């Protein structure tokens, strides 16, 4: 089966636990205003699932310390048939599978794909439908929450993150609201706040894509640390209760 891939990294260290083979699928349904990887939006190069499987298996000896494969993007959920086929074979070979997703599409195929994964690296971009409407291509908040419920029900581990963008979602009240959204999901093993930065801005100019956040500044790290401390205290309070 053919899938479309923007790029891959056979020695990725930032895409989940251990050393991983990360595949950046092309295509995304959201097109967030602050996307760092707009080069993944257009259709990438075609790859055959069988050839890609054979390539990945060659790297298996390097997948130490919990390493394996990560499906990233773009949005991997836009190509479920290809990834179900690939993931099924990787699973048979005992390879750990993580998927990095914004959780904005949920149908039977996406559910099947989630169930083949050992770990989901999930985004919670906004704590309201309005946030998704304003800064992404459409409101998927309901789908994201439905997905979180599904993953919790299936007990699939989740590492969650939110990108904090100045003037958009950077107040202590925002952190309280994010926490309120996720606090009942026991399968969320980690929740990390990541800083918005402007390093991807040059890509918008190169690709001739309008940059909706033109002129925005990167996140102030001292302010982010304070928000992280607030989130940590909320998470700990929940554990002590």
What residues line the site for ligand SF4 (CB under 6 A)? 28, 30-32, 35, 37, 40, 73-75, 102
Rounded Cα distance between 37 and 34, Å, is 9
Looking up tokens 């925005």, which residue turns up?
216
State the nearest-atom distance from the C-beta of 94 to ligand SF4, in Å.
Answer: 29
Residue 122 contacts residue 75 (beta carbons within 8 Å):
no
Residue 185 contacts residue 154 (beta carbons within 8 Å):
no
Considering the complex, state which of residue 21 and residue 41 has its C-beta at the smaller distance from ligand SF4. 41
State the nearest-atom distance from the C-beta of 119 to ligand SF4, in Å.
Answer: 17
Considering the complex, state which of residue 31 and residue 112 has its C-beta at the smaller distance from ligand SF4. 31
Q: Is the peptide bond before 62 cis (omega within 30 degrees of 0)?
A: no
State the nearest-atom distance from the C-beta of 69 to ligand SF4, in Å.
Answer: 18
Residue 93 contacts residue 132 (beta carbons within 8 Å):
no
Rounded Cα distance between 225 and 231, Å, is 10
Considering the complex, state which of residue 67 and residue 74 has its C-beta at the smaller distance from ligand SF4. 74
Q: Is 210 helix (H, G, I), strand (E, B) or coil?
A: coil
Considering the complex, state which of residue 109 and residue 203 has its C-beta at the smaller distance from ligand SF4. 203
State the nearest-atom distance from the C-beta of 6 to ligand SF4, in Å.
Answer: 10
Rounded Cα distance between 171 and 131, Å, is 14
Considering the complex, state which of residue 95 and residue 213 has its C-beta at the smaller distance from ligand SF4. 213
State the nearest-atom distance from the C-beta of 147 to ligand SF4, in Å.
Answer: 13
State the nearest-atom distance from the C-beta of 75 to ligand SF4, in Å.
Answer: 5
Considering the complex, state which of residue 68 and residue 104 has its C-beta at the smaller distance from ligand SF4. 104
How many residues belong to the chain? 241
Taking CB atoms, the residue at the shortest distance from ligand SF4 is: 35
Look up residue 106 and give its DSSP letter. Answer: -
> Percent helix, strand and coil across the chain, each rounded to 5?
40, 20, 35
State the nearest-atom distance from the C-beta of 109 to ligand SF4, in Å.
Answer: 18
Considering the complex, state which of residue 46 and residue 138 has its C-beta at the smaller distance from ligand SF4. 138
Looking up tokens 């959920």, which residue turns up?
77
Q: How many CB atoms lie within 10 A of CB 24?
A: 22
């Amino acid at each position: 089966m053919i899938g479309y891939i923007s790029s891959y990294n056979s020695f990725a260290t930032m895409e989940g636990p251990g050393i991983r083979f990360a595949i950046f699928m092309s295509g995304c349904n959201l097109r967030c205003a602050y996307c760092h990887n707009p080069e993944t939006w257009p259709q990438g190069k075609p790859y055959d699932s069988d050839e890609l499987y054979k390539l990945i298996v060659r790297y298996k000896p390097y997948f130490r310390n919990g390493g394996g494969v990560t499906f990233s993007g773009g949005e991997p959920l836009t190509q479920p048939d290809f990834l179900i086929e690939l993931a099924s074979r990787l699973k048979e070979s005992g390879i750990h599978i993580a998927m990095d997703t914004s959780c904005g599409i949920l149908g039977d195929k996406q559910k099947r794909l989630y169930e083949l994964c050992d770990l989901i690296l999930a985004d919670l971009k906004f704590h309201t439908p309005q946030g998704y409407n304003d800064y992404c291509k459409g409101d998927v908040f309901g789908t994201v929450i439905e997905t979180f419920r599904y993953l919790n029900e299936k007990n699939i581990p989740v590492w969650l993150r939110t990108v904090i963008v100045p003037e958009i979602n950077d107040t202590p009240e925002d952190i309280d609201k994010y926490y309120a959204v996720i606090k009942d999901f026991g399968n969320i093993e980690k929740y990390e706040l990541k800083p918005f930065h402007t390093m991807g801005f040059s890509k918008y100019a190169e690709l001739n894509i309008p940059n909706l956040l033109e002129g925005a500044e990167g996140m102030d790290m001292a302010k982010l640390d304070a928000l992280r401390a607030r989130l940590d205290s909320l998470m700990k309070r929940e554990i002590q209760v």
